[in-house]
Structure 1
Amino acid sequence: MPGTTIDPYGRAMTGAAQWWDAPPAHRVSLLPDVDPELLAVALDPLPPGAPAVLRVHGLPGRTAGEQVAALLTELDRAALALFPSWLPGADRLDGPHPLGAAAVRSLAAAAAARSAAFGPFLTDLAGRALAARSGPPAGSRHAGRSRFPAEVRAAGLARVLADAYRRTGVVLLVEVPDGLTAEGERVLAASAEWLAGHGRFTVWLAGRPLRTVDRVPVVTVTLPHEVRAVAEPAAGGGPAPTGALVSCPPLSGLPRADSPAEQTLERALSRHGWAYGRRWNHTWQGHPLGPAYRLDLCWLAEGLAVEVDGPEHRGRVRFADDRRRDVHLQLLGYDVLRFTNDQVLTDVPAVLGSIRDLLATRRAAGPHHEEKRHHADH
């Protein structure tokens, strides 16, 4: 993409200022006039040069300490689930056997020596992540707890999460809850300031104004026209249902680390030879000047896209954006199958049958030539 360069660590950077550059890095900003759902649409797929943006669906707790502790726990789980993407060479390790544990400690120490990361923290996190791969699901409550104080964890997790996405920083997109009391606003602002000050996170407070806290600067961002247009047909609907406390962007080529439905579907597909050629969380662009879409699961040669929808897809903005995407893909010759998380988790044989049958039909019709001309893999 024009204007995109790669820093010495292999992370994408852009020369020209973009809309996400308006809020200052490593600070707290208030974006009161921007719907968090629209921001999520604008950041999916994550644009080249943008920071890694993690969406925080409200912070539980009555004090700043409680809110920070809850969020650090969730970010720790996210880092465990994203392993080994943030530790070069760790993808060749498997299981917590002694040789693997020693190797991951060596890799973590080497990575820390090449960066500003705190070696003991990175070594501990890598060891727990490796152990979780052969035990409970990565990021579960049984993956072990960090032994480091909150300040060390915040700074370390910010670096690890940025490295997982090959980005230069991490934004926490925090939704300001409706009906927040004056004390609640003060606690939320204090939590955000702590995260920015100790973790070097950039924090965006979005969705609603803060009526009693005036020390957080208000920043205006102008989203791309095609994103703003999504809000118009979506007006009048309710907000998206809340799910997990933190939502992380997916990694290209893999099912979402925080989606049991995508993980379940991939395990099922991996047992069948007919499922060859699939790509997870692939960024597709029908034309160099057209919009880029992230497809949950696709078979490019056959022209088949499969979407696995969680509860957030019932929100008014995401629902409208899904319809827009589906129409665009269908006009370019793609078939689109949509399944809910519940469908995948409760009846995966039926989901597999639908995918298998449509794949067979598409393969019998020959290669999907539109894909060969125009798809772009980022």
Structure 2
Amino acid sequence: MSDWEQQILASADAPAIVVQRTAGSPSQQATVAAVLDEMEATAGQLFPAWLPGAEGITTSAGAAPVAVRRLAVAHAAATAQSGPFLADLAAAALTGSTTHTRRHQPEVRARGLARVLAASFNRPACALLLRPPDHLDEAATLALAQAAQWLVDHGRLTVWIDSDSPYGVDSRPRAVVPPPARPRREPRVRARRTPNVAGKPHPSSRAEVALETALARRTWAAGRAWNHTVRPGPLVNPVRVDLLWKRERCVVEIDGDDHRTPGKFTEDRNRDVMLQLNGYAVLRFTNTQVLDDIDNVLVLLQQFLASRRRTGKGL
């Protein structure tokens, strides 16, 4: 196998990670329905990233809903997905109505939404990180575990249930149930020649400064570099990235509102693919995620870095 092929495989198994808060219900069916509704809302926000050909359709006026339905049916036929569901999902994303998507069986919705969310980030699979409320009672805990297993079995999803303890990343589809609470311990980090941190976050970025403040207190974050230039390959122009773990070949980008524009979104995706093809993993977070829910960001970063270090990818 060539070095180029090995670099592709090194980044091919990282899933798109979607974080969701769960309300805690004593019913497995109600928990599954709530998770699917939230996944669908996320898919609507990401439209049209997951539907090729729909990039220029920005309004629901006129024949636009019919056009996206036709695009969805054609895309579903080419990718072995459910045409009726994908068509309803595309129309719902455009119009904001979910009346028709809920007529499909939960199994169809789960599998279709998993494919859509993975495709939005150019990933082969999707993983859910479910964050339940504190102190769930026995019935709600059981329902959540059953719902997670149902999503694994019927949606081909990886599902993590996050209480207050961090978990390692496992790329195989499975449900993880939180063990009894135990004291939080920082993982040991082997001595490295690289410094704990190089460079600085951009002083005008509140999100970068806040993330660095949080990372500075965590030993597992050693080896990071802010605002460094990366040359993905010998024939590729260097690019500047927000945050880099060079040894693990992990790039983290912190996106402001300007990254939602069509031009910037396309530029970001092209750059992500170029980095991934050269062995880098790219994780993207919005300013809002970092500033309003930094605990989630830290959990995901720690999980991902632990996986890269455990498997030796990027080293």
TM-score range for the pair, normalised by the shorter chain length: 0.5 to 0.7
- 1:75 and 2:34 aligned: no
Give the deviation of 1:217 after TM superposition.
Answer: 6.5
- 1:284 and 2:265 aligned: no
Is the Cα–Cα contact under 8 Å of residues 56 and 173 in structure 1 kept in the other structure?
A: yes
- Per-residue displacement from partner, 1:279-303 (whole Å, max 9, x unpaired)? xxx953568558633122499xxxx
* Alignment gaps of 5+ in structure 1: 6-13, 16-46, 133-141, 210-214, 236-281, 300-305, 322-378
SS in 2 for 1:90: coil
The alpha-carbon distance between structure 1 residues 72 and 90, as it changes in their structure 2 partners (threshold 3 A), is: same
Q: Hey, what's the Cα distance between the residues in 2 that align with 1:165 and 1:48?
A: 12
Is the Cα–Cα contact under 8 Å of residues 176 and 208 in structure 1 kept in the other structure?
A: no
Residue identity over aligned pairs, in percent, reads 33
Give the deviation of 1:63 after TM superposition.
Answer: 0.9
- 1:311 and 2:287 aligned: no
Instruction: Kindly report which structure 2 residues correspond to 1:191-230, keeping only aligned pairs within 5 A, or say none.
Output: 191-207=147-163, 225=189
Aligned to 1:293: 252
Give the deviation of 1:316 after TM superposition.
Answer: 10
Is the Cα–Cα contact under 8 Å of residues 154 and 198 in structure 1 kept in the other structure?
A: yes
Is the Cα–Cα contact under 8 Å of residues 177 and 208 in structure 1 kept in the other structure?
A: no
The alpha-carbon distance between structure 1 residues 110 and 224, as it changes in their structure 2 partners (threshold 3 A), is: farther
Give the deviation of 1:82 after TM superposition.
Answer: 0.7
Aligned to 1:60: 24
Q: Hey, what's the Cα distance between the residues in 1 that align with 2:81 and 2:187?
A: 33
The alpha-carbon distance between structure 1 residues 291 and 149, as it changes in their structure 2 partners (threshold 3 A), is: closer
Aligned to 2:237: none
Amino acid in the other structure paired with 2:41: R
SS in 2 for 1:166: coil
Give the deviation of 1:188 after TM superposition.
Answer: 1.2
- 1:171 and 2:116 aligned: no
Give the deviation of 1:96 after TM superposition.
Answer: 2.3
1:112 to 66, 76, 81: 76
SS in 2 for 1:114: helix
The TM-score normalised by the length of structure 2 is: 0.55
Instruction: Kindly report which structure 2 residues correspond to 1:130-149, keeping only aligned pairs within 5 A, or say none.
Output: 130-132=94-96, 144-146=99-101, 147-149=103-105
Is the Cα–Cα contact under 8 Å of residues 53 and 173 in structure 1 kept in the other structure?
A: yes
- Per-residue displacement from partner, 1:97-148 (whole Å, max 9, x unpaired)? 343233212211111111121000001111122224xxxxxxxxx5545221
- 1:123 and 2:87 aligned: yes
Aligned to 1:18: none
- RMSD, aligned α-carbons: 4.1
- Per-residue displacement from partner, 1:47-101 (whole Å, max 9, x unpaired)? 7641001112234322111111111111111111110000001002232234323
- 1:88 and 2:52 aligned: yes
The alpha-carbon distance between structure 1 residues 91 and 234, as it changes in their structure 2 partners (threshold 3 A), is: same
SS in 2 for 1:92: coil
Is the Cα–Cα contact under 8 Å of residues 152 and 175 in structure 2 kept in the other structure?
A: no
Is the Cα–Cα contact under 8 Å of residues 60 and 66 in structure 1 kept in the other structure?
A: no
* Alignment gaps of 5+ in structure 2: 166-173, 179-185, 190-195, 198-211, 220-239, 260-285, 302-315
The alpha-carbon distance between structure 1 residues 148 and 286, as it changes in their structure 2 partners (threshold 3 A), is: closer
- Per-residue displacement from partner, 1:210-234 (whole Å, max 9, x unpaired)? xxxxx96789xx989579x967826
Larger radius of gyration: 1
SS in 2 for 1:204: strand
Aligned residues: 212
Structure with bigger RCO (C-alpha 8 Å, 6+ apart): 1
The alpha-carbon distance between structure 1 residues 198 and 283, as it changes in their structure 2 partners (threshold 3 A), is: farther
Is the Cα–Cα contact under 8 Å of residues 60 and 70 in structure 1 kept in the other structure?
A: no
SS in 1 for 2:93: helix
